[in-house]
């Protein structure tokens, strides 16, 4: 039987107990993974995750559209920032976008050599869970967190995804972190948007006046996509 493990912060990734045949699900609910799913649902061709700002600037110089932020602030050289709404315009359809964020693209960089790496959000949770079940593989849910620290929004998503994955007889939880994520989700699931009001990053976004996307973020299944990393580039699996 295959296992589900949750890694609550990137700092813990080197300590995961799953050691073979595993797919990483990178989660950054506020906001990278939600925005990536929105982009592919809107017809973006590909996304190049970039860890450093210098590399993002190089892509800009080559003529790519660039989405980039640090601590919620759009970088001056970028075409736009990290809101899902930025990726839901006609201007990005069919485009390849270089993307660099505070947490999400750092987590992708960390786990890029896993056997598989896909992107998870509430917006694609059903498509993602069905795809994962069909892979018959161990699953490691990597929460991007906030600057290598635990956060609530990624953790409750991990629990929500686990709840769906456990409908398969081929998957089981095998660590306390998965149990904890599922317990958190049991508390939050009746109203995730209300629950997340206590989250630290929700307050950061409010102060920056970037919280207009919160309601959209916690809607289920608005994107029938599964973004996967192929040769360093995110593309949408045809499902």
Helix H, strand E, coil C: the string for the chain is CEEEEEECCHHHHHHCCCCCCEEEEEECCCCHHHHHHHHHHCCCCEEEECCCHHHHHHHHHCCCEEEEEECCEECCCCCECCCHHHHCCHHHCCCEEEEECCCHHHHHHHHCCCCEEEEECHHHHHHHHHHHHHHCCEEEEEECCECCECCHHHHHHHHHHHHHHCCCCCEEECCHHHHHHHHHHHHHCCCHHHHHHHCHHHHHHHHCCCHHHHHHHCCCCCCCCCEEEECCEEEECCC
Whole-structure pTM value: 0.95
208: confidence class by pLDDT, cuts 50, 70, 90: low
Q: Where are the domains of the chain?
A: 2-229
What value does the mean pLDDT take over residues 81-103?
94
| Structure tokens that stand for 10 in this block | 């990137």
Structure tokens at 47: 């996304």
Between CA 122 and CA 216 the distance in angstroms is 9
Euclidean distance between CA atoms 158 and 140, whole angstroms: 10
pLDDT tens sequence across 33-78: 999 999 999 999 999 999 999 999 999 999 999 999 897 888 999 9
Can you tell me the distance from the alpha carbon of 148 to that of 96, in angstroms, rounded to the nearest whole number? 28
User: How much is the pLDDT for 238?
Assistant: 73
Class of domain 2-229 as given by CATH: alpha beta
Region 155-169 average pLDDT: 98
Q: In whole numbers, what is the pLDDT of the chain averaged over residues? A: 94
* Rounded percentage of the chain residues whose pLDDT exceeds 90: 85
Contact 64, 48 (CB under 8 A): yes
What pLDDT, in 10s, does the model give residues 115-161?
A: 999 999 999 999 999 999 999 999 999 999 998 999 999 999 999 99
């Amino acid at each position: 039987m295959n296992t589900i493990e949750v890694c609550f912060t990137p700092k813990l990734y080197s300590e995961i107990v799953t050691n073979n045949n595993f797919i990483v699900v990178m989660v950054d609910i506020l906001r990278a993974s939600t925005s990536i799913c929105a982009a592919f649902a809107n017809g973006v061709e590909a996304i190049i995750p970039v860890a450093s700002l210098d590399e993002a600037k190089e892509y800009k110089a080559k003529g790519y559209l660039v989405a980039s932020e640090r601590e919620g602030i759009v970088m001056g050289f970028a075409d736009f920032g990290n809101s899902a709404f930025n990726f839901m315009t006609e201007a990005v359809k069919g485009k390849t976008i270089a993307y660099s964020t505070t947490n999400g693209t750092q987590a992708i960089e960390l786990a890029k050599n896993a056997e598989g790496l896909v992107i998870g959000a509430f917006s694609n949770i059903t498509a993602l869970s069905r795809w994962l079940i069909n892979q018959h593989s161990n699953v490691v849910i990597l929460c991007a967190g906030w600057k290598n620290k635990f956060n609530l929004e990624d953790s409750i998503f991990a629990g929500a995804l686990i709840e769906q994955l456990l409908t398969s007889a081929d998957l089981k939880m095998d660590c306390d972190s998965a149990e904890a994520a599922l317990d958190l989700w049991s508390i939050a699931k009746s109203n995730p948007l209300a629950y997340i009001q206590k989250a630290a990053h929700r307050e950061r976004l409010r102060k920056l006046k970037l919280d207009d996307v919160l309601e959209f973020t916690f809607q289920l299944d608005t994107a029938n996509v599964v973004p996967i990393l192929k040769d360093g580039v995110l593309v949408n699996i045809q499902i």
